[in-house]
Structure 1
Amino acid sequence: MTTAADSATSSTRRVGARRLFAGSGFRRLLASRLIAQWGDGVFQAGLGGAVLFNPERQADPAAVAAGLAVLLLPYSVIGPFAGALLDRWDRRRVLVVANLVRGALVLLTVAAVGSGMEGVPLYTGALLVMGVSRFVGAGLSAALPHVVDRDHLVEANALAATLGAAAAAVGGACAIGLRGVVGADNAGSALVTAVAVVGSVAAALVSAGFARGRLGPDECDEPSQTLVAVARGLGDGARAVATTPSVAAGFVALMAHRVVFGTSTLAGVLLMRYAFGDQGPFRAGMAGVGQAVAAGAAGMLVAAVVTAPLVNRVGRRTAVVSALLTAATAQLCVGLCLNLPMVVVATFFIAGGGQVVKLCVDAAVQQDVGDEVRGRVFALYDTLFNVMYVLAISLTAVVLPQNGYAPTLLVAVASVYLVGMAGYPLMDRRQGPRPRSDPPEAISPRP
C-alpha cells in the first residue's frame, strides 16, 4: 500500500536548475514571473513610501493599517475567484491582458499619488492593482504544470518562489533607491510608483510569446457558475482540513504566527516613522523598513535551508513547536528591549520561525490531503493566511499609539504563540504517531 509520504517521494525527482532552464517554456514563464514580481515590489515600496513616509502626509495607525490591508486583502478576496476563472479562460490571454490592465491601473494610482489624494481614492487604486497582481500570480502558478514535467513540479515551484521573492525585494530596493534621488514628496512618490508600469508591460510582452492554449486549461470540470464553484471549493477545503488532524493543527500554529506578525508589522512601521532615529549601521524611516524587510527575507531563506533537515532529525511536530518558541522568544525580546537594533534582529527570527511553520504546513497539505481536494485546501489556506494578518493589524490599530511605542502590547501579544504551541501538538495527536521524518523534497515553498 502506498502512503501519501511515499507518493510524495516517488513523484519527485530532482533534476537541478540547469535542466529546468533547458525548457524554453519554463524560462519564458519564469521570466514573466520575475518581471511581474519586480514590478510588484516597485509598486508596493513606492506606494508605501507615498503613504507612510511622505513628509506631506501624516500616517496614523489607522492609515497604516488601511494601507497594509489594501496590499493583502486581494490575496484573500480574489484568490478563490482566480482559481475558478483560470480553469475556464485561456491562461496565456489572461497573463497578457491582466498585466496590461495592471499597468493602466498603476498609472491611475500614480495620478492619485501625484495629486495628493488620500483615503478612498488612493486605496481603491491600490486595491485594484494588487487584485490584478494576485490574478497574474495565480495564472502563473496554474500554468506551471504545462511547461514542467509533473515529476519536477516541487523543484520548479521552489525555484520560482525563491527567485520571485528575490525579484520583488530587488524591486522594492530599486524604489527605495530612486526615492532617495527624486525626493519623498508627492511628485517624487508618484514618479517612483510609476516605474512599476515597466514591469507590467514587459511581463505582458514576455507572456505574449506563448502560443494560444499552450498554458491551458485543458478542460473544465468546475460548476458553470463561478460563485458556486468558489463556495463549493472553500467548503470542500474546510471539510478536508477538519478531517485531517495534521493540517488542522498546522492551521492553528500558522494563524497564531500571523496574528503576532501583523501586530508587530504595524508597530514596526510606526516606530520607524516616528519613534526611532538612526543608530550606528541601523537606519530609521523608509531605509529602516528596508533593513527590517531584508532581515525577514534572510530569516525566511535560512528557514528554507534548515527546515527539511530539522524535520528529518526531530520530526514535524517538534520542528513546528520549536519554531514557534523561537519566534515567541524574539517577540518577547522586542517588547522588553524596544529599540531599533532589536527590532531588526528580532525580525530575522520571527520571520524565519514563521517560515518554518509555513513550510511544515505546506508539507502536511501536500502529503496528507488527497489530490482531489488539495487545491481547494490551499485556496482556503491562502485566504485564512492573509485574513488573519489583516484582522490583526486592524485590531492593533485601535489600541496602538501613533508613534507605535507600546512595549506592553508587544510583550502581551507574544502569548498568542502559546496558543499555537499548545494547540498544535494537541490537535496533531488525534492522528496518532507518524514517522519521524517527512520527505525533504516535499518541504518546499510554494509560489
Structure 2
Amino acid sequence: MSFFGDLRTVLQGSRFRRLFGTRLVSQFSDGVYQAGLAGFVFFNPEQHTSAAAVATAFAVLLLPFSVVAPFAGVLIDRWPRRQVLLLSALAKAVLAVVSAVVVTGGEGPAFFVAALLVLSVNRFFLSGLSAGLPYVVPREQLMMANAVTPTCGTVASSLGTGAGLVLGVLGGAGALGTGVVLVTAALGFVGAGLVSLSLGYRELGPHLEREPVEVRDAVRGSVRGMVAGVRHIWSRPPARDALATIGLHRTLFGISSLMTLLLYDNTFTGGGVAGLAGFSVAAAVLAIGFFLGAVATPWATRRMTPGTWIRLQLLAAAVALVLFALPFSPVLFPVAAFVLGFVSQGVKVTVDTLVQRHVDDAFRGRVFSVYDVLFNATFVLGAALAAALVPPSGAGATVVIGMAAVYLAASLAWSLRERVTVALPETTEA
C-alpha cells in the first residue's frame, strides 16, 4: 500500500488521530524553536559565524540528547504516558519562554542550558509518543502507523522550521526577532499539551506498577543492553552494514549542514536577516526533499532491493554535490540541498526497514537505542570535521570533492555487496 493509503487507513481511528495530532502540533513547534536557535546562534548580525562556533553549537545541542535517549524508554515504561506527553509539553513551553527572556538579555551560557533542557525533555516526549502508539491502533495496523507517523512528524518539524525562519525574517535581526520566534514555539508547546488532554490518563499505558529499585536496575541494565545491542548488530551483516551507511551519511550530512550555514552567513549574503532569508530557502527545499524521499522509498523498494535503492541514492548524492554544490552558487546550491534531503530520508527509511527485518525482536529496542545515539553523534562528528576543514567562507571545494568521492565509494561498496549477497546462500542474510 502507498504512503498516503497507509495514512488514510490509520487516520480512521479516532484515538490514533488524537495522538497523531499531539505529535504534529509538538513537532511543528519543535521546528519553530529550532528556527529560533538557528537565528540566534548562527545568524547573529553582530558577528559572522565561524566553523568552530557552529560545530560547538551542534555538539552542545545534540550530544546530551543522545545521552538521554537510551534511558528515556526505561522511565517511560514506569510513568503514565499521557502525563509524560502533557508535562513534557508544558516543561518545553516554560523553557522556551526562558530561552526568549535570556535572548533579550544578551548571549550567555543560560541560553544553551535552556536549549539543552528543551531538547532533552523532548526525548521523553517522543519516546512517550512511540510507546503509546500500540494502545491507539489495532495490531494489524501498527506497521502502517510506525511507517507514516515519523515521516509526518519530520514534515511537520520542517514546516515549523520554515515558519519560524519566516517569523525571524519578519521580526528582523537581533534579540527581539528571535524572542518572538521562541515565544511562538512556547505557545505551540502549550497547544500540544492541550491536545494530549484529549487522551485518557491511562489510555496510553503502562498498566504495570514497578518498585523504585526495579527502575534503578533497569537504568543500569540500559548500559548493558546497549552493549548487547552492538554485539547483536555486529552478528547481523545486513543491519550492521545499514547502520554503518547511515553513520557515514550522517557524518557527511553534518559537514554539508555546517557548510550551508557558513555559506549563507558569510558568502552568499552579508549575514543577519539576509543570511537567515537565504538559509530559509535552502531549508525549505531540503524539507521538500525529505518528504519526497520518504514517499518515494516504499514505491522504489517494491521494485528493487533495498541495497540497490541505497546504492542509487548514494550515487545521486555524489553527482549532486559535484554539479550543484561545487560551483558555490546561491542559485544552484538549493538544488544540492533538495537532493541531499531526498537521499537523507530515503536512506534512513530503507535502513530502518533493514534493521527491523534483520535483528531479533528481543534486541530491537536496544538496537534502536544504539541507532539513536549513532544518528546524532555522527552528525556532530561531521560538524567537527567541517570545523577543521572548511574555510570561514564555507566555500571548501576540496571538502565537497572529498564528500562526493566518499558517497561514490559507498555506492560502489553497496553494489559489490549486492553481488556478493546474490552469490551467497540465503542463510547468510538471516
Q: How high is the TM-score relative to the length of structure 2?
A: 0.90
Ranges in structure 2 where 5+ consecutive residues have no aligned partner: none
Q: How many residues align?
A: 420
Q: Does 1:178 align with 2:176?
A: no
Q: Distance in 2 between matches of 1:349 and 1:179?
A: 26
Partner of 2:123: 134
Q: Does 1:164 align with 2:147?
A: no
Q: Does 1:377 align with 2:367?
A: yes
Q: Does 1:90 align with 2:84?
A: no
Shift of 1:57: 4.3
Partner of 2:358: 368
Specify which of 27, 30, 34 is matched with residue 20 of structure 2. Answer: 30
Of 220-229 and 309-318, the range deviating more from structure 2: 220-229
Partner of 2:32: 42
Structure 1 residues 300 and 188, CA gap change in structure 2 (3 angstroms): closer
Native 8 Å contact 1:253 1:421 kept in 2: no
Q: Distance in 1 between matches of 2:54 and 2:377?
A: 16
Of 312-321 and 260-269, the range deviating more from structure 2: 312-321
Partner of 1:316: 306
Q: Match of 1:323, as an amino acid? A: Q
Q: Does 1:193 align with 2:182?
A: yes
What whole-Å deviation, never above 9, does each CA across 1:43-88 have from its counterpart, x for those lacking one?
1101211122231344211222222334433442211111121112
Q: Match of 2:156, as an amino acid? A: A
Shift of 1:197: 0.9
Partner of 1:149: 138
Native 8 Å contact 2:282 2:337 kept in 1: yes
Q: Match of 1:78, as an amino acid? A: V
Native 8 Å contact 1:32 1:207 kept in 2: yes
Partner of 1:273: 265
Native 8 Å contact 1:100 1:204 kept in 2: yes
Following TM superposition, the consecutive aligned residue runs of length 4 or more in structure 1 with deviations greater than 3 angstroms are 12-19, 218-224, 422-435
Q: Distance in 2 between matches of 1:318 and 1:73?
A: 32
Specify which of 211, 217, 221 is matched with residue 225 of structure 1. Answer: 217
Q: Does 1:111 align with 2:101?
A: yes
Native 8 Å contact 2:239 2:355 kept in 1: yes
- Match of 1:139, SS state, is helix
What whole-Å deviation, never above 9, does each CA across 1:249-287 have from its counterpart, x for those lacking one?
111221221111111110111100110149xxxx96112
Q: Distance in 2 between matches of 1:127 and 1:398?
A: 24
Q: Distance in 2 between matches of 1:137 and 1:365?
A: 20
- Match of 2:357, SS state, is helix
Partner of 2:240: 248
Q: Distance in 2 between matches of 1:135 and 1:74?
A: 13
What whole-Å deviation, never above 9, does each CA across 1:362-390 have from its counterpart, x for those lacking one?
11112121211112111111110111000
Shift of 1:13: 12
Of 184-193 and 35-44, the range deviating more from structure 2: 184-193
Q: Distance in 1 between matches of 2:159 and 2:421?
A: 44
The percentage of aligned residue pairs carrying the same residue is: 38
Q: How high is the TM-score relative to the length of structure 1?
A: 0.87
CA-based RMSD of the aligned residues comes to 2.7
Native 8 Å contact 1:49 1:189 kept in 2: yes
Native 8 Å contact 1:334 1:410 kept in 2: no
Native 8 Å contact 1:13 1:151 kept in 2: no
Specify which of 396, 408, 411 is matched with residue 406 of structure 1. Answer: 396
- Match of 1:22, SS state, is coil
Shift of 1:16: 4.6
Q: Distance in 1 between matches of 2:301 and 2:193?
A: 40
